[in-house]
Amino acid sequence: MPMRYFSYLLLALSGLLLSVNDVYPQRILGAVVAGMNMTQVDGDEVYGFRKYGFNGGAQAIVPFGKSGRWSAGLEILFSQKGSYQKAQYADSSQNGMYKLSLNYVEVPVMINISDRKVISAGTGISYGQLVGVKEWEHDRRTETSLSGGPYAKNDLSWIGEVRFRIYKRFWLDLRYSYSLMKIRTRVFDPDPGEPFTRKQYNNAISIRVQYIINEPVPERVRKQKK
């Protein structure tokens, strides 16, 4: 992860926490999260969640409601997505190898509900800004770039997640996300065969560990861990 993007995440979250804490003192929970993405791009004729990448950043969580079971969250993440297929054929010029690396700075907005402070489920929307792209076909780098395309610079995704408390303020987060708008339209021209067009979408499974810095640990959880 480039250090400049990590610095941007910290600065943005610091500003968020300072501004919101003025309105809701003692109600903002800060968290850090880190883990991995397993991704594919639907519509690229490459199948399987075989592209692995980093997913991590910082969060601000605002509990609301009398029961305290509901919360809203805002995240700032660095997320690596894309697609991968190893070489399929011996032909060095057309071996079938494909790799796509897409780096995003993402801002998910989430609504979560928890049960007994040990399990949580949520859904939300994430905006992603493309900050890096590299692509290889048949072991050769293509001319794909941020300025020249063909990948969209913006992505909007739906998110669903389930979290489990694993130890005091540590949670295991299982997340699924899918693009709501295409990231590329591509024309494939097989030989032999007729040309065909595919719209492409990010498809990602994330496994992350979340640490909520200032979360009050439920008394029942503290007793069980002794």
Domains and CATH numbers, the chain: 3-225 (2.40.160.20)
Q: Which residues of the chain have pLDDT under 50?
A: 1-3, 23-26
Q: What is the pLDDT of residues 76-91, one digit of tens each?
A: 999 999 999 998 888 7
Give me the residue label for tokens 């072991």: 139
**Which pLDDT value is given to residue 171?**
97
The answer to whether the pTM exceeds 0.95 is no
C-alpha distances (whole Å) from 171 to each of 22, 50, 177, 219 are 27, 25, 19, 17
Give me the residue label for tokens 């968020």: 16
Q: What is the mean pLDDT of the chain?
A: 87
Specify the amino acid at residue 189. D
Q: What is the pLDDT of residues 38-90, one digit of tens each?
A: 999 999 999 999 999 999 999 999 888 777 788 999 999 999 999 999 988 88
